[in-house]
Structure 1
Amino acid sequence: IVCLCIFILDVTVKSYLIGWEEFRMNKWLIGYIVVIAASVIDWMLSISMMCSESLRVRRLIRPFFLLQNSSLMKKTLKCIKRTLPEIDPKKNGEWETYFKNLPKALSSLLVLLTTANNPDVMIPAYSLNRGYSIFFILFSVFGTYLLMNLMTAIIYNQFRGYLLMSVQTSIIRRRLGIRAAFEVLCCPGRGHTSTQSEVAVNMFLQVMDRVHMKSYCRQAIIKAARQFPDGFINGEAFQRLFNELDKDFMKEHPPKPEYSSPVLQLIQCIYSHFYITVLGNVVALANVICICTVLVLNSEKSGSEKNNFYMEILNCIFILYYLIEMLLKIVAFGWRGYLSYRNNIFDGFLTVLLLAIQIAIFITDLVPRHVMALWEMVRLVNMLIVFRFLRIIPEIKLMAVVASTLVDLVKNLRAFAGILLVVYYMFAVLGIWLFQGAITPPSNMSLISNASIENKTDGPFSMDCGTFEQLEYWPNNFDDFASSLVLLYNIMVVNNWHVFTDAYTRYTTEWSLVYFVAWWLTSSVMWVNLFVALILENFTYKWDRSNALSVEDVERIAYQSTVQLIFREHVQEPTEEELLAQLQQHPHLHLSW
């Protein structure tokens, strides 16, 4: 009820601020009020029934609040809505020639199309006549490898077009707001003959102190504004100042310590050089090769015949090198400078951990009763050493681009993940309503198995090979919310998804196939393909920009990678005349030019 009160207050304030004319045209706010009203009514019904009802409508419409409060999610949802009509397939009547039962034919062809155990569909006909395989092979080639990939291209092409339109609208809105702020703050140019409007830097800095934004963005904008020598900012420069809003915070490395000792200066000069990092990568590679060689030599030996002596000696030598490298880098960069590099934090943590485990191995050799097997501790050291070899990723341009792309997915695709979460939630709640308790595991599986072998079982239960019961998929059900999410994920992955559809059509009705096909189309066909296409778009953008950069500068691509910047080169900036024309027609801004 507290959340509902907050939502009521939120929609009241928003409706008052935008006015009645804007409110009538805003479908999201109207839907906001409808959803709040439905939630309040459903809540009152729950109170009147002492919360004993099993069906609660407000659970199904609750994700609307998440969508309504995210502008990027609303834009993404609008793009998806516009994309769907473009991929609607035309109806086909050929199934009447080849299949008599439409639901069975549809499910079989879907299994064949998704390549989830598709030989099961082909084998019965193929066993009678090998020529029947031509139909199934052609269907797989055209359906799976041509049409499905073509559908991926169609989905992303249409979605990308609408996303570009959304980005174009966002850029125009931002440019319009910045231009309006400039017109409000501008003062006449210095001198009586100046016709160009300008903003005084001092006035701009006073306003920036009161603006609510991220602190690093404010500092970057203020720093850039103070670089104007004459103390005034023109319109074009004013627009450029706010490009810092598209950038993430990039931590500056602290200065290196200054030493008076020639020895420390020499150490600082050597261990702050890039070639020391290359040497460390070579040593790490040599360590991994040594471990692999020893493991291959010991692979044919039994546990008692394995000799860990040489491996322990090699590990001690390499760990000692890692420790010396870490200490000398701390001397070269200083403690704060060393920790300002993420690679150094990664190396230092694993080096300290390897040293602690190696000391534990020495202690284990001296203690008669081993708390932990020596061989297991050696294997743990080997695993950490191999894991430490991941330090080479930032040093190779291609691998650095791939790694930064993965990191950017979390940052830039949160809106898409949010909508996917909403879809998961809605399908899970709907699945619980439709199929809760539909499939229950038998109390005595051994008796059921014996009866099934003797063909004495009745009803939908089946112990045939490859069925839901024979594979013991009992935990995959809609009995609670968590298991529903896992079941939906298993269907999205596609592998063996026909097992679930077959079971629920046997235990409930053949119309249950509509629910599962709808989820497959939503998650696997549309959402997964769209997600993969966006990953490729993000990677292509980073790769194109990294071709002209060095390895050290690849990290700066992530500093400037947002959804808007990825598509910025395909978006046309509004002209000065267009901005001024829109400002003159703006209903809430009255300027006297």
Structure 2
Amino acid sequence: MKNHAHKLDIELQNNPAYVRRQSDSMDISSGNNDVSNFVTKDDFLVTSTLILDAKYGRNMDFRKEHVKSYLFYNKWHQRALLYFSLFVNLTLGIFEKPAVPNFELPVWATMFIEVLCLLFFIFRIIHTAHVEKMENLWLDRKYILVVIIILLTILDMFGYIIWIVIAPGTNAVRWSRPLRPFLCVNFPEGRQVRQAFRNIRRSMPEVVNIFILFTLTLCLFSLLALKLYSSKNLYFPDGTPYFQYYMDAIWQLYVLVTTANNPDVMMPAYDYSNWWALFFVAVIIVLLYTFMSIVLAAIYNSYRDNLKKEVKNVIYTKRRKLTEAFEILQEKNDDHYVIKKPCWMELMKYVVPKRSDKQHELLLHVLDEDNKSCVKKTQFLYLADLLLLPLTEVKDRMTLLEKHLPGLYNSRVSCILKTIVKHRFFRWFFDSLIFINAWIIGFGIKDADWFFLSIFFLEILFKLYTFGGFKFFKQFWNIFDFFVVNGALILTTYNYMENEVKNDSYVLDLFLVMRVLRLFRTFASIKRFRVVIMTIVSIAPSISTYGAVLLVFYYFYAIIGMEIFHGLIRFHGYNMTFTELNNYSFCGNAKLKDSNFYYDHYCSNNFNDILKSFVILFELTVVNQWHVLTSGFVLVTHPAARLYFLTFHICCVVVVLNIFTAFILEAFVLEYTLSKESKLESVLERTLKQFGTGVTENSDKSVASDDNESDVEIIPDKFSSVKGLQFHVKKRNQKTMHVMLQEMFEKEIEIETF
């Protein structure tokens, strides 16, 4: 037995595919240890993949034997191809009939492109089936929905081809096109949008209960309005009977709840008797200010609970991945399982290969609170969050002038200039000039353009000289200033040389006005404005998520709207002669004669192509005059067309926008209540100090910060235990909403349960 173990030990030591765990208690010759005491490269590969999954929030339960295929699945070019295919699949609506003018492609061309997209989707599903455990794949609803949508699309394409062959010239319908945006939701890469849809779905039961009561109350008020006004023989200004029909009464009062027809709907009754205003005031108070406020409160309450569940699921998944990764590499040390330093250093080469060994060692010291050169399980669970901290090693921070002209750069005059530029009053001076510049632009004083452009150009030169190009262009506002000021200078010089009138150069005016946008940076430095601006910055990525949710609804309703309303309303102009009026009628449809839709010049608001459809759907989302837009399409079709616009209003305005409002409220509260500095950031700085380094911040009172982020430069002092170690930590004043929510709910999850 000893000979066999000794032989195995020699083979493993000579095999580069294996790395032996370094443990004082490990003795392979004793025969008490087996191959499990050795870690293969595949083990490190699986472990690093699990850690990266935890870091990036991926929740696919991949098969360990297919880890390399899973890594290929997550390559940036594979994701880029998926996003590109989804984008192309959606943009086919621009080229398919009814197409945007001058963009229509033959049917065979659009179908060929769609087939290519579907083939890649099928490849992606097959690849997923290869790398993920099958018992998980076919129980996952998102994959089932993707497969169903692909099969329905193929069935629709075959049916469409057969239809146009059997009955050419007839109006064939591609009924699967509204399903296209749901592919974006149900692929794993659309998890943020999918979470938003889950929140909507889970919030609906409570909202539905309130909406049922709202509908019953609306019907009661409509019945009361019918009884009050039907016998008065009143009419709207366009001649429409005033509350003569029950369904019309329900519609009019629902529009009133959206405030779109207020006070128009009240005026005939109000003119008849001023006392009738009390009825409409009661409707608004009960249905709008009471019921709709309760709907918002219910959505917010339900949304917050569902959001908490979503975030907890993300945290559980992250910790489960890290626990699984830890158990692959764990070693018994006294009474605990740990990952020791040699194994850790090797692991970090797989996880963060571009970082140096010094950074790998620093990460170990941050997690190793006991200073035993090993990481426990409870400490290892913070690794994914630690990897997200922007820590970089400083190798050389000298500017080009300091390298090549040190005498000039370090001269007395140069040092005075650099001190002035780094001082906070330097920034305040130029911020005040921006205020003055904005005031001058607002009053149309053109003669000062050259002066301000020259001053701002000097500011850029001084900053480049002081900080160097590398550090200068790392700041967003510096990049913004550089392109705006230089662009304005170039255009101003060109106009001067060509003797052109400045008023004719709208591009130059745009550059000059854009320069004033830097005021937002100034506002962000003021305490009373900081929370609002930081909230906006924090939720900016998440706004795109809700934008994608609206896009799904927009695309769905746009395709359906084009199939129902295409060609019924057209824009032919408004200043026409009598002959032209007879030829083109009213918005291309005589049914719109004497309608508010025509007299308000809404003819361009139609569903004749997907871009126009998106515009009119956005107008409906804004709500103002949405009832006039609806009335036009009702006149050219049927009163049942109101259901299309009503369901869109409920989905996008009542539900999605209210959930987005709840999201904004939660973000604002979090920005007020959560600490600006995470636990790991403070631990990192403390560890760096213990590691023998000093910490300085360029946000010191005597140093001007170029943006709203403070940089912490970790500079070794003369007593540093690690010679030559120097780091740069970018401390963000703002956190993303996702990170803030994790910090809020992570404390409620016990680590010991993993």
TM-based fold match above 0.5:
yes
Q: Please tell me whether the aligned partners of residues 247 and 560 of structure 1 are also in contact (alpha carbons under 8 angstroms).
A: no
Q: Please, which of 473, 476, 481 is the counterpart of residue 347 of structure 1?
A: 481
CA distance in 2, matches of 1:172, 1:399: 36
- The normalised TM-score by structure 2 is 0.65
Q: Which residue of 2 aligns with 1:2?
A: 116
Q: Which residue of 2 aligns with 1:590?
A: none
Bigger strand fraction: 2
In structure 2, what residue type is equivalent to 1:169? N
What's the secondary structure of 1:119's corresponding residue? coil
Q: Please tell me whether the aligned partners of residues 257 and 287 of structure 2 are also in contact (alpha carbons under 8 angstroms).
A: yes
Q: Please, which of 499, 502, 513 is the counterpart of residue 628 of structure 2?
A: 499
Question: In the TM superposition, what is the alpha-carbon distance from 1:357 to its structure 2 partner?
Answer: 5.1
Q: Which residue of 1 aligns with 2:340?
A: 200
Q: Which piece of structure 1 moves more, 482-491 or 55-64? A: 55-64
Q: Please tell me whether the aligned partners of residues 4 and 36 of structure 1 are also in contact (alpha carbons under 8 angstroms).
A: yes
In structure 2, what residue type is equivalent to 1:321? I
Aligned pairs, number: 546
Relative distance call for 1:376 and 1:33 in structure 2 (3 A) is: closer
Q: Which piece of structure 1 moves more, 160-169 or 406-415? A: 406-415
What's the secondary structure of 1:498's corresponding residue? helix
In structure 1, what residue type is equivalent to 2:424? F
Equivalent pairs: percent with the same residue?
24
Question: In the TM superposition, what is the alpha-carbon distance from 1:263 to its structure 2 partner?
Answer: 1.4
- 1:225 is the counterpart of 2:354: no
Cα deviation, 1:437-480, whole Å, max 9, x if unaligned, reads 233457995439989xxxxxx9633325xx11112211111122
Relative distance call for 1:254 and 1:319 in structure 2 (3 A) is: farther
Q: Which piece of structure 1 moves more, 555-564 or 533-542? A: 555-564
Question: In the TM superposition, what is the alpha-carbon distance from 1:220 to its structure 2 partner?
Answer: 7.3
Q: Which piece of structure 1 moves more, 355-364 or 81-90? A: 355-364
Unaligned runs of 5+ in 1: 296-307, 365-369, 452-457, 580-593
Q: Which residue of 2 aligns with 1:116?
A: 260
- 1:96 is the counterpart of 2:96: no
Q: Please tell me whether the aligned partners of residues 476 and 486 of structure 1 are also in contact (alpha carbons under 8 angstroms).
A: yes
Question: In the TM superposition, what is the alpha-carbon distance from 1:387 to its structure 2 partner?
Answer: 4.6
CA distance in 2, matches of 1:281, 1:316: 18
Question: In the TM superposition, what is the alpha-carbon distance from 1:133 to its structure 2 partner?
Answer: 0.3
Q: Please, which of 458, 466, 490 is the counterpart of residue 332 of structure 1?
A: 466
What's the secondary structure of 1:35's corresponding residue? helix
Q: Please, which of 161, 173, 176 is the counterpart of residue 320 of structure 2?
A: 176
In structure 1, what residue type is equivalent to 2:336? Q
Relative distance call for 1:319 and 1:22 in structure 2 (3 A) is: closer
Q: Please, which of 84, 98, 112 is the counterpart of residue 204 of structure 2?
A: 84
Q: Which residue of 2 aligns with 1:134?
A: 278
CA distance in 1, matches of 2:511, 2:143: 58
- 1:164 is the counterpart of 2:308: yes
Q: Which piece of structure 1 moves more, 436-445 or 478-487? A: 436-445
Mapping of residues 353-368 of structure 1, within 5 Å: 353-356=487-490, 359=493, 363=497
What's the secondary structure of 1:121's corresponding residue? coil
Mapping of residues 10-409 of structure 1, within 5 Å: 10-15=124-129, 19=133, 21-23=135-137, 25-49=139-163, 54-69=172-187, 70-88=190-208, 89=211, 90=213, 91-92=216-217, 93-94=219-220, 95-99=222-226, 101-189=245-333, 194-211=334-351, 223-225=362-364, 230-244=372-386, 255=397, 257=399, 258=402, 259-289=409-439, 295=444, 312=447, 314-356=448-490, 359=493, 363=497, 370-373=499-502, 383=513, 386-387=516-517, 389-409=519-539
CA distance in 2, matches of 1:439, 1:286: 50
CA distance in 2, matches of 1:148, 1:207: 55
Cα deviation, 1:315-366, whole Å, max 9, x if unaligned, reads 54444433333322222212222222222233333433454455457646xx
CA distance in 1, matches of 2:289, 2:522: 36
Question: In the TM superposition, what is the alpha-carbon distance from 1:513 to its structure 2 partner?
Answer: 0.6
Question: In the TM superposition, what is the alpha-carbon distance from 1:509 to its structure 2 partner?
Answer: 1.0
Q: Please, which of 466, 470, 483 is the counterpart of residue 599 of structure 2?
A: 470
In structure 2, what residue type is equivalent to 1:240? Y
Task: Tell me how large the CA RMSD over aligned residues is.
Answer: 3.7
Unaligned runs of 5+ in 2: 1-114, 227-243, 403-408, 583-588, 679-698, 710-730
In structure 2, what residue type is equivalent to 1:78? R
In structure 2, what residue type is equivalent to 1:56? R
Q: Which residue of 1 aligns with 2:555?
A: 425
Q: Please tell me whether the aligned partners of residues 199 and 307 of structure 2 are also in contact (alpha carbons under 8 angstroms).
A: yes
Question: In the TM superposition, what is the alpha-carbon distance from 1:233 to its structure 2 partner?
Answer: 1.3
- The normalised TM-score by structure 1 is 0.81
Q: Please tell me whether the aligned partners of residues 401 and 554 of structure 1 are also in contact (alpha carbons under 8 angstroms).
A: no
